[in-house]
Structure 1
Amino acid sequence: MARAIPVRRKILWTALAWTIGILIFFPILWTFLTSFKTEAEAIASPPSFLFFDWTTENYAEVQERSNYFRHFMNSVVISLGSTLAGLFIAVPAAWSMAFSPTRRTKDILMWMLSTKMLPPVGVLVPLYILFRDGGLLDTRTGLVIVLTLINLPIIVWMLYTYFKEIPGEILEAARMDGASLMKEIVYVLTPMAIPGIASTLLLNVILSWNEAFWTLNLTASKAAPLTAFIASYSSPEGLFYAKLSAASTMAIAPIVILGWFSQKQLVRGLTFGAVK
C-alpha cells in the first residue's frame, strides 16, 4: 500500500518546483520581452517588464540584415545529420557492448566519456588545419562530421544503458529462429528500444542545435547555423540588446517548441528501465 503524502508537503514541493521552473525560464522570458523593445528601452534602468512601447521593428531589421531561413536550414541539416550519423554508428557499437561484453567494455565506455572532458580549444588548431586542407571549412558536411564525433560518446552511453535493460533471451530466440545479425538489430532490438532511441535522438538534436564553439570557428557564411546568426549581433561598437534578443528568440524558438511537444517522449526515454 502506498504511503499517503501530507497535503502540506505536497504544497511545499509544488511551490519549490514552480519556483525553480520560473527561475530557469525567466532568462528566456526576459529575452523574448526585450526583443519587442527599442534599443533605448532595452538598456533603460530601472528596466520595464511589461509596460513599454511594444514594437516588431527588431524582427524586421534582423530578417533584413541576415537571412534567417538560410541559417535555420543549416541548423536543421547539421543537427539532424549529425544525430542520424551518430545513431548509425552508435547502435551497433552499443549492441556489441551490451550483449557481447568483454573485460574491457567498462574501460572503453569510460575512455569514450572521458573525451568529453577535453577542452575543445585544445584540438581546434589541428582540426582547423585538417578541415582547411580537406576542403571542409564552412561546409555542412564538415560540421556534421565534427558534431557526430563530439556527441558520439553520449549517444553510445545512452543506448548502452537502454540496451542493457532488454533481456538477452529475446535476442537469443531470434537467433534460433534464423535471424541474421542485421535483422536482429533492425527488427528485434531497435523496436524494443524505441523510447530510449527517441530520447537519445531528441537530446542530441538539442546539443547539436546549441553547439556554438565549433560552428563559430569552422564556418564563415555558407554553412553558418543559428548560433553564428546570434553571434553576428555582437560588434566592436557594442551589443544591440533589442536586436540581439530578437535574433536569440528566433534561434531558440524552434528547439523550445520541439522540446515542449516532445517532453513526454523525452522523459519516458530517460526513465526507460528505471522501474521494473
Structure 2
Amino acid sequence: MNRKPTLSWRYAATSAAAWLIALLLFFPILWMLLTAFKTEAQAYQLSLWFQPTLDSFREVFARSDYLAFAGHSIAVSVGATALSLLLAVPAAYSLAFHPGARAQSLLLWMLSTKMLPSVGVLLPVYLLLKQGGLLDTVTGLVLVYALANLPIAVWMAYTYFCEVPREILEAARMDGAGLWQEIIHMLLPMALPGLASTSLLLLILSWNEAFWSINLSSAHAAPLTVFIASYSSPEGLFWAKLSAASLLAVTPILALGWLTQKQLVRGLTFGAVK
C-alpha cells in the first residue's frame, strides 16, 4: 500500500535533482549568452535586466574574419574525424575479431596515452610539423587532432564491434566475402549507430580542442578556438566582446549536438539492451 507514494517521491526527487544539475551545467552558457548582448560597462554588472545591444558582435566582425576561422574549424574537425575513423575501424576490427595475446594490453596502452599531458609532447610535435612544412596548416592540425583522438575512436569502435555476432561475419566469409567486403558490407552497417556516435564525439572534441590550435597555428589555419583566445589581451579581458566571440564559436557545435542528440544517445547505448 505504501509503495506507490514512495516511488512517486523518489521519482520527484530524482527529477528535481536532474533539473538542478542541468540548470547548473547550462548556467555558464546562459550567462555567456546574456553578456554577449551587453555593453562592456554592463558586462561587469551582475544584473539580468539590461538593454540588449549588438555592438559587441559588430566589433567582433569588424576586427576578425569570422568566416575564415569557422572554415578552418570545419575543415580541421571533419578532416580529423574522417582520418581517425579511417585508422580506427581496421584496428578495432582486428582487436575485436582477431585478438592476439596482448590485445587487451594494447588497448590499455592506447588509452594510457590520453593521460599524457599535451604540453609534455608539444616541443617534439612542433619541431616535426616545422620540419615537415606543416606548421600553421590545416593538414598539420588534422594530423595532430586525428592522432590525439585515435585512442578514443579505437576504444569506441572496438566496443561496438564486440556487440556484433561473429556468426554473421563467419557466414559472409563462407559465402566468399573478402576482408574488405566483410568490413564494408557486413560489419559497418550493423555497427552504424555506434560509429555515428563516435563520429559526433570526435567532431565535438576536435571542434573544442584549444591547446594544439593555439600553439600550432597563428593565421593561415587558425580555428575558432584561436579566434576566441585573441580576445584575451595584456590590456585585460573585454567580457562583452569575449562572450560574443565565444557565442559565435560554440553556436554551430551546440546546434549540431541538439539536432543529432537522438542519434548520439542511440549510438552511445548501442548494445546496452539485448
Asked if TM exceeds 0.5, the reply is: yes
What is the match of residue 232 of structure 1?
230
User: Hey, what's the Cα distance between the residues in 2 that align with 1:179 and 1:187?
Assistant: 9
Q: Which residue is equivalent to 2:252? A: 254
Q: Which residue of 1 aligns with 2:87?
A: 89
Cα drift, residue 231 of structure 1? 0.1
Say whether residues 1:24 and 2:25 are aligned partners. Answer: yes
In structure 1, C-alpha distance between the alignment counterparts of 2:271 and 2:226, rounded to whole Å: 38
Alpha-carbon distance in 2 for matches of 1:127, 1:213: 12
Q: Does 1:116 align with 2:114?
A: yes
Which residue type is aligned with residue 48 of structure 1? S
1:198 matched to 2:199? The reply is no
What is the aligned counterpart of 1:242 among 235, 240, 243? 240
Alignment correspondent of 2:218: 220
Deviations 1:184-223 (A, max 9, x none): 0000000000110000000000000000000000001110
Q: Which amino acid aligns with 1:209?
A: W
SS at 1:222 equivalent? coil
1:73-88 aligned at under 5 Å gives the runs 73-88=71-86
- Aligned match for 2:133, one of 132, 135, 147: 135
What CA deviation, in whole Å up to 9, does each residue of 1:97-154 have, x standing for no partner?
0000112000000000000011111111111111111110110000000000000000
Of 121-130 and 104-113, the range deviating more from structure 2 = 121-130
Structure 1, unaligned stretches of length 5 or more? none
| Partner residue, 1:52 | 50
TM-fit CA distance, 1:92: 0.6
Question: Structure 1 residue 7 and structure 2 residue 8: aligned?
Answer: yes
User: What is the aligned counterpart of 1:105 among 103, 106, 109?
Assistant: 103
2:268 — aligned with what?
270
Q: Counterpart of 2:182 in structure 1: which amino acid?
A: E
Say which SS state the counterpart of residue 6 (structure 1) adopts. helix
- TM-score, normalized by length of structure 1? 0.97
Distance 1:222 1:65 in 2: 16
List 4+ stretches of structure 1 deviating above 3 A: none
1:43 aligns with 2:41: no
Amino acid at match of 2:271: G
What does residue 152 of structure 2 align with?
154
The code of the aligned residue for 2:47 comes to: S
Between the aligned partners of 1:128 and 1:156, the Cα distance in structure 2 is 25
Structure 2: gaps of 5 or more residues: none
Partners of 1:164 and 1:16 lie apart in 2 by 34
In 2, Cα distance between the equivalents of 1:85 and 1:59? 34
Q: CA deviation at 1:174?
A: 0.3
Within 2, Cα distance between the matches of 1:38 and 1:247? 14
Identity %: 61
1:186 alignment partner in structure 2: 184
Amino acid at match of 2:212: W
- CA deviation after TM superposition for structure 1 residue 12, in Å: 1.0
How far off its partner does 1:7 sit? 1.6
